[in-house]
A = this chain, B = another copy of it.
Amino acid sequence: MNEQGSGPVSAGQEETVPRRLLAVATRLFAERGFDRTSVQEIVAAAGVTKGAMYHYFDSKDDLLYEIYGRILREQTERLEKFAATEAPVRERLVAAASDVVVSSIANLDDTKIFLQSMHQLNPDKQRAVRAERRRYHERFRALIEEGQRTGEFRTDQPADLVVDYFFGAVHHLGFWYHSDGALSARQIGDHFADLLLGSLRPSAA
Contact = CB atoms under 8 A, between A and B. Distances in A.
What is the predominant secondary structure among interface residues of chain A facing chain B? helix
Interface string A166-189: 111111110110000011000010
B201 A33 contact: no
Interface residues of A, number: 38
A171 B164 CA distance: 11
A4 interface: no
Contacts of A52: none
Interface of A: 32-33, 35-36, 115-116, 119-120, 154, 157-158, 161-162, 164-173, 175-176, 182-183, 188, 191-192, 194-196, 198-201, 204
16 contacts: A33-B119, A33-B120, A36-B119, A157-B191, A158-B191, A161-B191, A165-B169, A165-B192, A168-B170, A171-B172, A172-B172, A194-B199, A196-B199, A198-B198, A198-B200, A201-B204
